[in-house]
């Protein structure tokens, strides 16, 4: 097997994780995922100010006290921290190694930057490359491989493919490694972080990062270093499997992975085995992450305390709109107040105001207009914080291009540039799994759904993904019959006018929902209270329903 650990789930994750993973136990490869749709936007703005930037600088800070450890232990490092400038990061890693007196062979993968293709309004445009460029760098003897925009799972698939000598048509093995990569890509979300039943995790104060022990057939065991916090269970793995997916077919540049074939089994303490995964040819087009700038935004939160909450909110709204206009203003009143409250905070509601505009002067004027209301508005006027100047708004959108438009290149440690051919592809028509609902008889009790269901949710552009699983296998039939699309709209009224897809995954006792348009133009432009839909699943679990007592 090859033992692949992860030390970063996003740009801003635990800074000490690289050192912890290298010193905490045995590894063959250490990966780091630094890129998300929002991160590409952040790096794009960074590159506007500094053409030599555009990569995750914290990666270099992490290597300062860890690169020597990796060299001593023979651990390869593979990270997508190169962002928009993988060549620049590779040079920076070489410079760091030289300063530290280390002999390190550094390679990088490029070709994902498609900005020259001229996508409308694009600040960044990056294709999702696959695993074969990483594999080529490792086969050439690289100790460190940095990439730009590759799929998150490629950080695991590439090392596994190089280690086992897989071919581009070893679809089942590639699919199994893709699943393992999907599980560990978000770091501690696989070891108890963001887990619905977190109170059952004995030590979540400092959860360990996950490890995938990948075998030659693509099967894997998810685990973590001994003695670290958190836990690896079938449910923590299930939760991460459901994170930010859509239908049963998980499309990637190397393989189409069938999530309805995944089998999970316990393999000892903090060990979960993944097997049975099936795969097929990848789709004929390549997905591109395009970020554009779409004006500016600003926001403020008014605190409304005591009586006449609605009237106070109406006055603040009327006053602010009379100064800057109503166009582009979004208002949300959160009734967090309680009647006859015994604390001032419990007596208060929150009125959120957000402006989006193409005019930076208007975004800045929003701040002054809000503050100027202080002495002439509702009684008890206060803000949670003074509003700042407006910030740029970014909008993500997916595009798809022919593979011939993307040149996938591995730049080897000796500087040789090696073109990576695209694997054979095939059309991947949408596939739907139908599960016949079966009524569950017996007495019921009015209780929160979270008593029997777990959930994990997240964002994909303007859409929200909501995965729900039944804790007991025998409760899956009830889940399928109870949480239909129409029922979800009742339980979560914010979704009632939106298109919703439902994808049952019986092998995981789960159902995945895709809520189209819940997040508007996406996280960087969203005005919703929870712009990344991270808590959408917990809202659903807090709703009450008639639940069969047999499952409680």
CB half-sphere exposure, 222, CA atoms < 13 A: 38
Q: What angle do CA 77, 209, 17 make, to 5 degrees?
A: 60
Per the DSSP assignment, residues forming a β-bridge with 460 are 463
Residue 368: its pLDDT value, please?
95
Domains of the chain: 2-283+398-419 (no CATH), 294-389 (3.30.70.360), 444-551 (no CATH)
d(CA 256, CA 423): 12
Residues 6+ apart with CB under 8 A from 173: 160, 164, 166, 216, 217, 218, 279
Contacts of 175 (CB under 8 A, 6+ apart): 218, 255, 256, 257, 258, 277, 278, 279, 280
* Mean pLDDT calculated for residue range 265-274: 98
Least confident of 11-25, 90-104, 251-265, 385-399: 385-399
Structure tokens given for 486: 């129409």
The confidence score (pLDDT) of residue 524 equals 74
| CA–CA dist 448, 340 (Å, integer) | 27
Reported as a single tens digit per residue, the pLDDT across 205-241 is 999 999 999 999 999 999 999 999 999 999 999 999 9
Mean per-residue pLDDT for 177-197? 98
pTM of the model: 0.95
Calculate ∠ Cα 380-381-384, nearest 5°.
115
Q: What pLDDT shows up at residue 527?
A: 78
Q: Would you say residue 14 has pLDDT above 90? A: yes
Question: What's the pLDDT at 410?
Answer: 98
| Average pLDDT of the segment spanning 56-72 | 97
Residues in CB range of 441: below 8 A, 6 or more apart = none
The helix (H) or strand (E) run that includes residue 224 is strand 220-224
Residue count of the chain: 552
The token duo for 489 is 């709209």
């Amino acid at each position: 097997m090859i033992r692949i650990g992860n030390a970063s789930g996003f740009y801003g994750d635990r800074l000490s994780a690289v050192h912890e993973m290298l010193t905490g136990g045995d590894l063959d490869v250490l990966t780091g995922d630094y890129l998300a749709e929002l991160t590409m936007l952040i790096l794009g703005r960074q590159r506007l100010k500094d053409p030599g930037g555009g990569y995750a600088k914290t990666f270099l800070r992490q290597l300062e006290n860890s690169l020597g450890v990796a060299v001593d232990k023979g651990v390869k490092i593979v990270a997508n921290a190169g962002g928009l400038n993988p060549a620049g990061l590779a040079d920076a890693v070489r410079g760091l190694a030289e300063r530290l007196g280390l002999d390190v062979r550094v390679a990088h993968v490029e070709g994902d930057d498609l900005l020259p293709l001229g996508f409308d309004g694009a600040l960044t445009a990056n294709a999702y490359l696959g695993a074969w460029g990483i594999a080529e760098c490792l086969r050439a003897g690289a100790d460190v491989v940095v990439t730009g925009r590759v799929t998150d799972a490629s950080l695991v698939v590439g090392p596994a493919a190089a280690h086992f000598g897989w071919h581009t048509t070893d679809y089942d093995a590639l699919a199994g490694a893709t699943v393992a990569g999907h599980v560990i890509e978000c770091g501690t979300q696989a070891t108890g972080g963001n887990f619905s039943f977190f109170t059952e995790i004995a030590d979540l104060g400092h959860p360990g990062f996950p490890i995938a022990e990948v075998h030659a057939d693509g099967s894997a065991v998810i685990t973590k270093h001994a003695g670290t916090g958190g836990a690896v269970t079938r449910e923590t793995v299930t939760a991460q499997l459901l994170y930010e997916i859509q239908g049963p077919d998980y499309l990637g540049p190397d393989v189409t992975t069938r999530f309805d074939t995944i089998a999970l089994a316990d393999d000892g303490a903090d060990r979960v085995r993944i097997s049975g995964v099936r795969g097929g040819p990848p789709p004929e087009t390549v997905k591109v992450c395009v970020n554009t700038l779409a004006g500016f935004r600003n926001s403020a939160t008014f605190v409304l305390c005591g009586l006449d909450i609605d009237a106070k909110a109406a006055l603040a709204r009327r006053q602010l709109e009379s100064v800057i206009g109503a166009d582009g203003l979004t208002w949300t009143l959160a009734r967090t107040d309680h009647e006859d409250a015994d604390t001032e905070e419990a007596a208060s509601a929150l009125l959120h105001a957000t402006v989006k505009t193409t005019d930076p002067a208007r975004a800045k004027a929003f701040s002054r207009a809000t503050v100027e209301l202080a002495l002439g508005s509702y009684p008890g006027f206060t803000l949670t914080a003074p509003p700042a100047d407006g910030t740029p708004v970014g909008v993500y959108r997916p595009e798809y291009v022919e593979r011939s438009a993307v040149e996938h290149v591995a730049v080897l440690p000796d500087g040789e540039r090696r073109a990576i051919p695209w694997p054979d592809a095939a059309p991947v028509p949408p596939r739907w799994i139908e599960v016949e609902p079966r009524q569950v008889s017996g007495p019921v009790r009015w209780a929160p759904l979270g008593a029997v269901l777990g959930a994990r949710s997240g964002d994909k552009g303007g859409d929200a993904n909501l995965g729900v699983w039944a804790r007991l296998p025998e409760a899956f039939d009830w889940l399928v019959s109870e949480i239909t699309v129409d029922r979800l709209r009742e339980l979560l009224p914010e979704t009632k006018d939106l298109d919703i897809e439902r994808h049952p995954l019986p092998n995981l006792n789960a159902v995945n929902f895709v809520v189209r348009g819940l997040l508007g133009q996406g996280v960087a432009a969203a005005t919703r209270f929870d712009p990344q839909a991270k808590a959408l699943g917990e809202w659903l679990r807090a709703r009450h329903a008639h639940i069969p007592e047999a499952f409680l």
